[in-house]
Structure 1
Amino acid sequence: MRRKQMETTLLIMAAGIGSRFGTGIKQLEPVDDSQHIIMDYSIHDAIEAGFNHVVFIIRKDIEGEFRSVIGDRIAAICGKSGVTVDYVFQDIEDIPGELPAGRTKPWGTGQAVLAAKAVLKTPFVVINADDYYGKEGFRLVHEYLVNGGQSCMAGFVLKNTLSDNGGVTRGICKMDDQNNLTEVVETKNIVKTVDGAETDGIAIDTESLVSMNMWGLTPEFLDMLEAGFAEFFETEVPTDPLKAEFLIPTFIGELLDEKKMTVKVLRTNDTWYGMTYKEDVEAVKESFKGMIEDGMYEKDLFGDL
């Protein structure tokens, strides 16, 4: 059962439509026989861990479909559990400057989180809508935040995050002896091998911890993020106006370099599931079927809250 705790927020970045996934909104792909989607499981796990405010970051143009497929249903479930729900909109024109001519690409996860600044009054965990993180990460981040921690990240074991259907990009974490994050090394095209993983023929330690964009943060971080976005507009956008992106991991990496922030890495042994490739869908559905059969989740997903 859910523990009564201080106010904490689950912030879900749901504005993106997956380019590699083919047509349609990949966040809306059912993963079980009851037509639940990955996001339902994340919301369940977050509420179970003690988070009591849900904020969806979406785009205005998908609001109707999003509310009908997800939002209204989740709001009804949350209402019974005493959990509040808010919507915020990521808008390409919500920027500290002029929109460059021809720009259609969103500004990235940093701008997405900033879109929620007005409604984020509590410590929060931020996640991707279409990733499954498991229960342990939510428990660890929640515990860290409610005990006064400022910034943390769920660190997933690399071998628990790979796809059978192609290469993936992962942020491999470097840490000090206190498990404080020192650097995230973005590593592209990591593929499974018979005895582990490699990228471009070089073996990679599959026990490494990686960042899957599950951060525990506080409202104070948003002030730094806002200042960082303004600086990004002055320095990065002029050199690459159509493609420059303001990304949370990159920005946090800069703050770590400048010793303006410390981030505790909380190791989770849960398997991460995502649908990077269309072919991942069946494997993910099988995994959820197994978790339900093993009693990790009720068939009536929210019935135990």
Structure 2
Amino acid sequence: MKPTLLIMAAGMASRYGSMKQIQQFGPSGETIMDYSIYDAIKAGFEKVVFIIREDFADDFKAIFEPKLKGRIQTEYVYQAMDAFTEGHVAPEGRTKPWGTSHAILCASPVVKENFCVINADDFYGEDAFKKAYDFLVDGCNDQTFALVGYQLENTLSENGSVSRGVCQVDENNNLVQINERLKVYQEGDQIVYEEEDGSKHPIGDESKASMNFWCFSPALFPFLQDEFRKFLRESGNELKTEFLIPYSADQYVKQGKGVIKVLPTAAQWFGVTYKEDAPVVKQKLDALVDGGKYPQSLW
């Protein structure tokens, strides 16, 4: 079976303040997701599964079904607070979803083949989808997963510091761990990260950043279910703690379940975290279209 593209679009966009997943950025009203799906189809993907909120399903489908019909198979799953909780009841006052690992777990009923998972509001670039597709077809198995690793300099912002997961790899390019650096920026001719005490440390030019572009086999799902049980026991009564895929991936490696390859890409990443990022995203997409990388209208 050909691999599937899984898109996480159930986030509440609390920092951004609106449903940024469906904001139009392209010259013909395209969302960032449209470009990801376009690149995925070009790479060989024939099925996309959207993880969304059920209360948003009708509006979401009305946007995507007409333009994707006949181009790629679509399916939808809902990230609900009671899904896969085995009876655990969320604490009163919790509105935040359980997190990205839980979102992926919610897709298990419809994903039976190797798959990659991405964020809805990040632009990943054509090369990333090619690398992911080739790995899912030829390299992925139940003990070998992967993460698309971006050149750190291709993920920085001109508007200030960013938080990045910096990948530490071994001699075989297997992921050892992801170090969360909360304040990363370009200073002169080097990239540095700053700690809370103000101390600065250089990050090597060859460092790869994780932008939540993962490649898995369905063997991930039972592992996530086990990990989710642990999460609910330890943190299930907290209002904001989340069950996140970088942590799950870290546990997968540390527990000796298998390896996670880091697939290097030279693609340029950009995304929307705050409203102020929107004009920059639009400008970058316009430049790609003007340069002939994408058609004026994707669909």
TM-score with structure 2 length normalisation? 0.92
* Equivalent runs, 1:45-194 vs 2, <5 Å: 45-69=39-63, 71-76=64-69, 79=70, 81=71, 83-94=72-83, 95-96=85-86, 97-150=88-141, 151-194=145-188
> What corresponds to 1:19 in structure 2?
14
Aligned amino acid, residue 147 of structure 1: D
> What corresponds to 1:44 in structure 2?
38
Offset of 1:244 from its aligned partner?
2.0
Q: Which runs of 5+ in 1 are unaligned?
A: 1-5
TM-score with structure 1 length normalisation? 0.90
Aligned amino acid, residue 295 of structure 2: E
Local SS of the residue matching 1:19 = coil
Find the aligned partners of 1:177 and 1:109 in 2 and give their Cα distance: 29
Q: What do residues 69-116 of structure 1 show as CA deviations (whole Å, max 9, x unaligned)? A: 3x223432xx2x3x2110100011222322222222110001100111
Aligned amino acid, residue 84 of structure 1: Q
The answer on whether the counterparts of 1:110 and 1:225 sit within 8 Å (CA) in structure 2 is yes
Q: What do residues 246-302 of structure 1 show as CA deviations (whole Å, max 9, x unaligned)? A: 111101101211211201110000000101222222221121111112211111314
Q: Which runs of 5+ in 2 are unaligned?
A: 195-199
The answer on whether the counterparts of 2:90 and 2:236 sit within 8 Å (CA) in structure 1 is no
Give the alignment partner of residue 283 of structure 1, picking from 275, 280, 283: 280
Give the alignment partner of residue 195 of structure 1, picking from 189, 199, 221: 189
Query: How many positions carry a matched residue from both structures?
Result: 289
> What corresponds to 1:3 in structure 2?
none
Offset of 1:64 from its aligned partner?
2.6
Local SS of the residue matching 2:241 = coil
Aligned amino acid, residue 72 of structure 1: E
Aligned amino acid, residue 249 of structure 2: I
Find the aligned partners of 1:282 and 1:105 in 2 and give their Cα distance: 28
Question: Percent same amino acid at aligned positions?
Answer: 41
The answer on whether the counterparts of 1:159 and 1:196 sit within 8 Å (CA) in structure 2 is no
The answer on whether the counterparts of 2:114 and 2:140 sit within 8 Å (CA) in structure 1 is no
Aligned amino acid, residue 15 of structure 2: R
Against the structure 1 CA distance between its residues 136 and 179, is the aligned structure 2 distance closer, same or farther, given a 3 Å change threshold?
Answer: same
Offset of 1:202 from its aligned partner?
3.0
Aligned amino acid, residue 10 of structure 1: L
> What corresponds to 1:28 in structure 2?
22
Find the aligned partners of 2:7 and 2:183 in 1 and give their Cα distance: 26
Aligned amino acid, residue 98 of structure 1: V
Which of structure 1's runs of 4+ aligned residues deviate more than 6 A? none
Against the structure 1 CA distance between its residues 13 and 74, is the aligned structure 2 distance closer, same or farther, given a 3 Å change threshold?
Answer: farther
Offset of 1:195 from its aligned partner?
2.6
Find the aligned partners of 1:124 and 1:279 in 2 and give their Cα distance: 32
Offset of 1:168 from its aligned partner?
1.7
Find the aligned partners of 1:52 and 1:152 in 2 and give their Cα distance: 20
